[in-house]
Chains A and B, each alone.
Chain A
Amino acid sequence: MTVASSSRPLSDFTRMIRSRNAGSFVVSIDVIFRNEDSYRRALEKNVFDPVRIGGLYHLDPSVVHVIPHEITWGIKITMPRQKPSGALTDSDIDSAQSYVPLLTLTVPD
């Protein structure tokens, strides 16, 4: 017998999701959870699998760095910018909305 599993959007479990440049060639994203439970469950369920994140950002998983930060129930994701900040066709100078592809992630119950 299988039990139907359900998932809810990542943003249901977070206090803050933000992205910024970490220098002009790197984007850094912080996902801060509301409580320890959901932080641990997201880690257990491998929500931030570099292969999945790399897929969202069209990057090789080897350049996607996912680092849990226990004391803030936070996940730090660091990866190369698609193009350097302020390049002729750059569309988000300080990576302010680079977190948006993460909003498609869900956390299984």
Chain B
Amino acid sequence: MRSCEAIQEEFSALLDGELPPDVRAEIETHLFGCAECLRALGGMKKVDDLYRAMAAVSAPADFEARLKQRLRPAIRRAPARKTMPRRLWPLALAAGLLVVLSFFVMRVQAPAPDQFQLTQAQETFEAPKRLLTEAETARAPAGAAPMAPPLSSMDQERSLDIALPAPPIPELADTAESAAAPVDAVRPRAVASPPAPPTAAQIAGRAFSLVEEVWQEQGYAGEPVMPLPRDSAAFTALCDAHPELLQMAALGPRVVFQLQNIWYRIEPAADSAPH
């Protein structure tokens, strides 16, 4: 036999129809003989009725238009998704892998840097066969001249500039020279671009991927996050309790991860965070 207080604990669930049949029967039996509980239940029902009868609220008339405006940049990108049906993803993945493999094979077979730069220039520019002038030859570093192919005057200059060991820093270069010719125009980048930075990582058995400059733990679906600046006491405390957080924090300036059903985002220290 439950007390009135215990019975009243069930009133809310009774009103919502969320009680198991046996408990409901027990409450109803109690209510037949208890005026106080009956009054309390009536009061609770009155509260519900008043709130349910409140003025109806609906989204403002311009809600959808405003939302479209907010989503416009994303929607503009949508056709790109349409052009790649999901059945073609394996093909795209295979093509990507092929490109990456080719890159590594090329790197393994590539000649020494100086040699690579010169032969690359030769293949690229397809210059008419002419001998280098003595003055231009003199500008080339020792050992580079004999390997230099015959090039056009412009290409010679480009090729030789590539081979120069220490190009001047643009800001510190001779002003007359740098003003006359843009740095990029006379010093083309003949060296292969560096490998792309990683976009996926595993830490303590948890998978992370880089999405729009934020490292996100697998499973994150845009839920709200608890900001965790690196200079906060909370961050320090969490790192003490979970040392693997330090590894996660090393992934990048912003890292989203889950801990005890809460999503956190490690952020730059409050002082250094860009605004």
Q: Do the two chains belong together in a single complex?
A: no
